[in-house]
Structure 1
Amino acid sequence: MQLTRRGYGVLGVVVLAEVLALTYGARALNAVAAPAVLALVASTVQLWRTPAPTVERDHVPAAFPGDTREVSVAVDGGGVAEIEETIPEGLAAEGASAEASLPTTLTYTLTCVERGRHRLGPLEIRVRDMLGLVQRTTQSGAATRVLVYPPVYQVAGREVILQHVLERSEIERQEFDSVREYAPGDPLRDINWKSTAKSPDEIYVTQFADNRVEDDDITVAATGAAGSIDGMAAAAASVAVMALDAGLAVELRLPDAHVRLGRGEGHRQRLLAALAETDTDFTSPFKSYALDDDVLADADVVVRATGDGVSITFGADERDFEEITVSRENPLTTRGVES
């Protein structure tokens, strides 16, 4: 326990009263110092008898960079308290501190900024007595982990995977699926001239639905140089999600993780979680993040990241990742993907 500013002010009154008592007699001491000392003692006893606050946290769902989450933390106890959440780098918060009488619930908005698994908390709680003379500071509540996936971008190339990687025939050009912007590598016969005519500055192509049932699988391997791992993780996540959406089973090979073959929503979350946590320690600028040559040779899709950018290799076809990126809008943020 320690004195607040108000408490130090009262203590100063007591000291001043003692000086006056020595100068003018005990009446000044009795009239001023005694009530002040009594207030300090009463405040100390009250805070000593107040139970230590306890904290209950809700699970924070996994998110992508730029996503927001509403966080609620229930604080039980007594007295008046200043509550402040511990926000690590990689996360940002608005309204993560408050002053209230306990028990109370602190609710604030958390914004995910950087890929990784971040440690949120514990709460710093400063409990004061009712007079505000004495306070006790504690760190309460276990910290919780917040998983931030790498960004996922919309990329062109489903047909590229089907043809170049799996050596399958083209998608049957029958059932219309959607219209999107042209990306290098799209067949010219897929240009949607009607949509293109409405926007002379852009070229649009038609995507056709793939209704075939396939049991194919692919292996995605990712490697990168120091300082380029975020770009590698985003590219690998984008390719893996695209392959899952095409109905393929996906295996992921990373220098520090291996996600075995699988498909479905649960497997999507496992892939994204592995890419969220891969090589998040950037303390060494000289660290190389590489896979063995035989692992890269066995992979169907290889993601390579350097200081100059990220490349995607589909079999013998190598593309720049920026070149095949259709949109920077994340198609998963509206799906409610959680850990």
Structure 2
Amino acid sequence: MKLTRRGYGVLGVVVLAEALAITYGARALNAIAAPAVVVLLASAVQLWRTSAPTGERDRVPASFPGDTREVTVDVDGGGVAEIDETVPEGLDAEGASAEASLPTTFAYSLTCVERGRHKLGPLTVRVRDMLGLVERTTQAGSTTRVLVYPPVYQVAGRQAILQHVLDRSEVERQEFDSIREYAPGDPLRDVHWKSTAKSPDEIYVTEFADNRVEDDDITIAAVGDAGSIDEMAAAAASVAVMALDAGLAVELRLPDAHVRLGRGDHHRQRLLATLAETDTDFTSPFQTYTLDDDVLADADVVVRSDSDGVTLAFGTDERDFEAVTASRENPLSARGVGS
């Protein structure tokens, strides 16, 4: 508990009254200082009797960089309070402060910026008495973990990658899947001429669903330099999501984690959560994040990152990840997967 600026002003009045009392007698002290002292004591007692504030906020669902969530905060207690949310690096907040009489509820917008598991909170609550003379600062509410997945991009050339990984001459072309922008390496026979004709500045190709991959699986291994781990995680996540969407079971091998074979929405969230936290604690950008040679040799797709960029190696083929990125738009955000 401490005095506010207004409280220090009242205290100054008391000191001035003491000085006047020395000069002009005790009557000046009684007329000026006594009421001020009573007010200060009453304010301190009122604040002392006010229960400590407590806070509770909504759970923040896992998100992707760039996603914005609205967070609602409930603060119980008494008095007039200034409330500030503790927002770590990697997250941005707008409107995360409020001034109101307790109890109160307020909401703010939280934007995810960087991959990782971030700690949001606790709340800093400065409670004042009704006259604003005395205040008490406390930490209210627990912390909330906010998981931010790596970005996921649309990967072009899925057919070529599956041919190498699954050792096939070609992917079955029986069921239409989607239309996307052309990327280097796409066969010209897959150009969707009707869509291309409507947009002279872009070429579109057809993706076909492969109905034979239900019993197939793929192992993805990811390595890189500490300074490029974010790019490595994004590439590995993009390839894993592509494979899951194609119906494959996916295994992920990382130097600090191993996600066993699985498929479906729950497995996708496990993969993304693992890549969100790998490895965010490097102390130097010159450290190397690697796997044993035999693990890399057994992997179907190897993701490598360094200061020059990210590459994908499958079979005898190696490509820049940038070259096989069909779009930087996250297909999972549109489907609400991070919710």
Do they superpose with TM above 0.5? yes
Distance 1:106 1:154 in 2: 37
**2:128 corresponds to:** 128
Which has the higher mean CA deviation after the structures are superposed, 158-167 or 87-96?
Answer: 158-167
- AA aligned opposite 2:144: T
- Partners of 1:253 and 1:272 in 2: CA distance: 13
Contact kept? 2:225, 2:285, Cα under 8 Å: no
Q: CA deviation at 1:60?
A: 0.7
Paired residues of 2:21 and 2:27 also in contact (CA < 8 A): yes
For 1:112 and 1:213, locate their aligned partners in 2 and report how far apart those are by CA, in whole Å. 35
For residue 182 of structure 1, report the CA deviation from its aligned partner.
1.0
Could you tell me how far apart the structure 1 residues matched to 2:85 and 2:108 are? 9
Give 1:189 deviation, angstroms: 1.1
Q: Is the 8 A contact 1:184 1:324 kept in 2?
A: yes
Q: TM-score scaled by structure 2? A: 0.97
Pairs within 5 Å for 1:44-193:
44-193=44-193
- Give the unaligned 5+ runs of structure 2: none
C-alpha separation between the residues in 1 aligned to 2:272 and 2:261?
14
Give the SS at the match of 1:208: strand
Q: What amino acid is aligned across from residue 48 of structure 1 in structure 2?
A: W
- Shift of the 213–287 alpha-carbon distance from structure 1 to 2, 3 Å rule, reads closer
Separation in structure 1 between the aligned mates of residue 329 and residue 103 of structure 2, nearest angstrom? 41
Cα offset for 1:87?
0.4
Q: Partners in 2 of 1:306 and 1:194 — Cα distance? A: 40
- Aligned-residue offset at 1:85: 0.3
Measured in 2, the distance between the counterparts of 1:174 and 1:218 equals 22
Tell me which residue corresponds to 2:234.
234
Q: What is the CA distance between 1:200 and its match in structure 2?
A: 3.0
What CA distance in whole angstroms lies between the structure 2 residues aligned with 1:297 and 1:176? Answer: 34
AA partner of residue 262 (structure 2) = G
CA contact (8 A) 1:147 1:273 kept: yes
Deviation at 1:161, TM superposition (A): 2.8
Instruction: Indicate the SS of the match to 1:291.
Output: coil
Could you say which residue in structure 1 is the equivalent of 2:254?
A: 254
1:30 equivalent in structure 2: 30
Kept after mapping to 2: 8 A contact 1:232/1:305: yes
Structure 1 residues 170 and 227: CA distance shift in structure 2, 3 A? same
Q: Is the 8 A contact 1:178 1:206 kept in 2?
A: yes
Structure 1 residue 18 displacement after superposition: 0.8
Quote the RMSD (CA, aligned, Å): 1.3
SS in 2 for 1:237: helix
For the residue of structure 1 that corresponds to 2:227, the secondary structure is coil
Q: Is the 8 A contact 2:213 2:246 kept in 1?
A: no
- On the 8 A contact 1:162/1:169 being kept in 2, the answer is no
| Higher deviation after alignment, 160-169 or 325-334 | 160-169
Q: 2:243 aligns to what SS in structure 1? A: helix
| Amino acid of the structure 2 residue aligned with 1:98 | A
Aligned-pair CA distance for 1:30: 1.0
1:139 shift after superposition: 0.9
2:220: which partner in 1? 220
Q: Does structure 1 retain, via aligned residues, the 8 Å contact 2:172–2:212?
A: no
Q: Is the 8 A contact 2:190 2:206 kept in 1?
A: yes
1: CA distance between counterparts of 2:250 and 2:290?
20
Q: Which residue number in structure 2 is paired with residue 316 of structure 1?
A: 316
Task: For residue 319 of structure 1, report the CA deviation from its aligned partner.
Answer: 0.7
Displacement of 1:181 after TM fit? 1.3
Given that 1:43 and 1:130 are in contact with CA atoms closer than 8 Å, whether structure 2 keeps it comes out as yes
> What secondary structure sits across from 1:332 in the alignment?
helix
The aligned residue for residue 289 of structure 1 is: 289
Instruction: State the match for 2:2 in structure 1.
Output: 2
AA at the equivalent of 1:43: S
CA distance in 1, matches of 2:81, 2:304: 51
Structure 1 counterpart of 2:208: 208
Question: How big is each residue's C-alpha offset from its partner over 1:227-283, in whole Å with a ceiling of 9 and x where there is no partner?
Answer: 100000000000000000000000000011111110010000000000000011242
Q: 1:202 to 1:337 in 2, by over 3 A?
A: closer
Contact in 1 for aligned 2:332/2:338 (Cα 8 Å): no
Q: Is the 8 A contact 2:174 2:210 kept in 1?
A: no
Tell me how far apart the structure 1 counterparts of residues 275 and 17 of structure 2 sit (CA, whole Å).
67
Shift in Å at residue 213 of structure 1?
A: 5.7
Q: Which letter does structure 2 place at the counterpart of 1:122?
A: P
Residue 334 of structure 1 deviates from its aligned partner by 2.4
Question: Cα distance, 1:209 vs. partner?
Answer: 3.0
Is the partner of 1:137 in helix, strand or coil? strand
Partner Cα distance (1:60, 1:66) in 2: 14
1:314, 1:221 → 2: CA distance? 11
Note the C-alpha offset of 1:169.
Answer: 4.6
Q: Distance in 1 between matches of 2:165 and 2:62?
A: 31
Return the offset for 1:59.
1.3
